[in-house]
């Protein structure tokens, strides 16, 4: 594998430089003095920002974009071998790294690299940790999978030994990382277009845990089914968190405000401690906060700073994000695209003042929709009114013989009314004709369904 020497910056080309993660890595390398170029299909705020900082970007991926002066090519799992730029890099014998391999090499450049993993909650927890480290003046470098309003972006370039990043299990990308501290929030079935089953997924998280050095630390959700298969044989320190006071960190005396945001008393090894107040809704965010608190105490950050940072954190973009109000209808957007995430979001919404809860859901990938069809139907049934958009295929081309109409029938079999409209314009028309003042509308999914709420607010 090609090894980067940060003392000798080179010319690196990114295929798909406008992605949320790729753009962040490119920005860090620009700051480190590297020459950065790359391509994307369309101009965006992220590509414009990179251009302003000195990157050269091509719009459209073409063979001729690749020139012999490029020292290294970086690509993601979305890039196929027949991509013209990938083909050109092979023809010119340009070394290549995946995005994850590059990120792993960058982590080696820091004294305390922190990787936050799990099937759900990575972006929110990474954002919570980021807020804490920023308020503690630890000057971290941050790589977040979503936009954090405090830094007005997904990347922050610090000048300390702290590096914080999300660690995604898809295609085993997090196995290319070099963390000193790892967090595993939860482990469930997902990405079944890559993993065979839950045992395969647990094995992947076990390999991630084994990456931690003997003087490192694993912070892990104590209620994860089969946790012993993940932690077996690892040499580092293990800290647990969860809903039971048998874990190292748990929460007691939980209460919720009128918007579904929790307050709780921290419990350390069964002993009651200080109280925390969150400004993000839902029980799942208590668990996210517990992992962030455990990390903060490991880093010896003052308790008052942690309390203040968590109370001040109002969420990251596309995580129960308030978009606006139109004609008395509150519009929320959420990235949830797995049944567990949908359940958590809709339960959180139940504590938010509203009359009727409308959910516009855009399924994400055919493989995920088919694998969890009945679970999706059950989770979505928590909403009063369910509207489905077309399945967002992402990287997939085979529809596996299913559509959103298949999911609609599953929901109707549970006795719930469900609507399916192939276009966003039809969905928007339905909402305008049916939502009343006092209702809540949640647009939900990992695709582009956020446009529905944004169009309505325009």
| Residue owning tokens 């039809």 | 426
Alpha-carbon gap, residue 372 to 3, rounded angstroms: 40
Cα of first residue to Cα of last residue in the chain, in angstroms, is 49
pLDDT attached to residue 349? 86
pLDDT attached to residue 39? 96
Judge contact between 145 and 126, C-beta under 8 A: yes
Query: Torsion-angle region of residue 365: left (phi > 0), alpha (psi -120 to 50) or beta?
Result: left
Helix intervals (H) in 64-167 = 84-91, 99-107, 122-135
What 3-state DSSP class applies to 206?
Answer: helix
Alpha-carbon gap, residue 295 to 132, rounded angstroms: 10
Residue 122 has pLDDT above 80, yes or no: yes
Residue 77 has pLDDT above 80, yes or no: no
Is there a catalytic annotation at residue 122? yes
Is there a catalytic annotation at residue 323? no
Question: Stretch 106-135: mean pLDDT, rounded?
Answer: 95
pLDDT attached to residue 133? 98
Question: Stretch 345-359: mean pLDDT, rounded?
Answer: 88
Which residue of the set 27, 119, 122, 408 is catalytic?
Answer: 122
Could you read off the pLDDT of 298-326 as tens digits, one per residue?
A: 999 999 999 999 999 987 777 778 899 99
Residues 6+ positions from 307 with CB-CB distance below 8 Å: 274, 275, 276, 277
DSSP 317: T
Give the pTM: 0.82
pLDDT attached to residue 283? 87
Is there a catalytic annotation at residue 32? no
Longest dimension (CA), the chain: 64
Helix intervals (H) in 41-83 = 45-52
Judge contact between 451 and 392, C-beta under 8 A: no
* Chain centroid offset of residue 355 CA: 30
Number of Cβ within a 10 Å radius of residue 396: 16
Alpha-carbon gap, residue 83 to 240, rounded angstroms: 44
Judge contact between 317 and 146, C-beta under 8 A: yes
Confidence bin at 445 (pLDDT 50/70/90): very high
Mean pLDDT for the chain overall: 93
Question: Stretch 121-125: mean pLDDT, rounded?
Answer: 93
Which residue of the set 119, 123, 340, 406 is catalytic?
Answer: 123
Alpha-carbon gap, residue 51 to 160, rounded angstroms: 26
Confidence bin at 360 (pLDDT 50/70/90): very high
Confidence bin at 216 (pLDDT 50/70/90): very high
Which residue of the set 27, 85, 166, 341 is catalytic?
Answer: 166
Number of Cβ within a 10 Å radius of residue 259: 15
């Amino acid at each position: 594998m090609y090894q980067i020497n940060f003392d000798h910056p080179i010319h690196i080309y990114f295929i798909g430089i406008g992605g949320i993660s790729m753009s962040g890595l490119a920005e860090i390398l620009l700051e480190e003095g590297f020459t950065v170029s790359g391509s994307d299909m369309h101009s965006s705020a992220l590509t414009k920002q990179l251009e302003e900082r000195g990157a050269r970007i091509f719009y459209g991926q073409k063979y001729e974009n690749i020139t012999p002066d490029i020292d290294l090519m970086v690509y993601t799992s979305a890039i196929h071998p027949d991509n013209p730029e990938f083909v050109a890099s092979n023809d010119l014998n340009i070394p290549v790294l995946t995005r994850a391999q590059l990120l792993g090499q960058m982590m080696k450049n820091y004294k305390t690299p922190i990787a936050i993993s799990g099937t759900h909650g990575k972006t929110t927890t990474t954002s919570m940790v980021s807020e804490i480290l920023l308020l503690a003046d630890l000057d971290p470098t941050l790589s977040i999978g979503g936009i954090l309003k405090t830094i007005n972006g997904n990347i922050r370039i610090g000048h300390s030994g702290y590096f914080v990043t999300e660690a995604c299990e898809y295609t085993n990308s997090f196995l290319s990382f070099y963390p000193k501290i790892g967090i595993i929030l939860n482990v469930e079935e997902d990405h079944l277009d890559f993993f065979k089953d839950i045992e395969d997924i647990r094995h992947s998280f076990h390999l991630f845990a084994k990456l931690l050095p003997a003087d490192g630390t694993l912070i892990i959700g104590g209620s994860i089914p089969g946790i012993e298969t993940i932690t077996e044989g690892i040499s580092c320190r293990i800290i647990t968190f969860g809903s039971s006071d048998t874990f190292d960190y748990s929460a007691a005396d939980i209460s919720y405000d009128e918007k579904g945001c929790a307050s709780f008393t921290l419990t350390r090894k069964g002993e009651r401690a200080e109280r925390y107040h969150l400004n993000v809704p839902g029980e799942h965010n208590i668990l996210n906060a517990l992992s962030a608190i455990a990390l903060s105490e490991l880093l010896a950050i003052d308790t008052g700073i942690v309390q203040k940072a968590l109370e001040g954190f109002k969420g990251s973009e596309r995580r129960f994000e308030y978009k606006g109000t139109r004609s008395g209808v509150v519009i929320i957007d959420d990235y949830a695209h797995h049944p567990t995430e949908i359940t958590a979001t809709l339960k959180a919404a139940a504590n938010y003042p509203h009359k009727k809860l409308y959910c516009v859901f855009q399924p994400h990938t055919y493989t995920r929709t088919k694998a969890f069809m009945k679970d999706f139907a059950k989770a979505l049934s928590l909403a009063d009114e369910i509207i489905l958009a077309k399945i967002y295929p992402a990287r997939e081309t085979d529809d596996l013989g299913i559509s959103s109409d298949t999911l609609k029938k599953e929901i109707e079999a549970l006795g719930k009314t469900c609507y399916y409209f192939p276009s966003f314009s039809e969905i928007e028309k339905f909402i305008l004709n049916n939502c009343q003042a006092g209702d809540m509308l949640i647009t939900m999914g990992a695709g582009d369904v956020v446009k529905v709420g944004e169009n309505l607010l325009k």
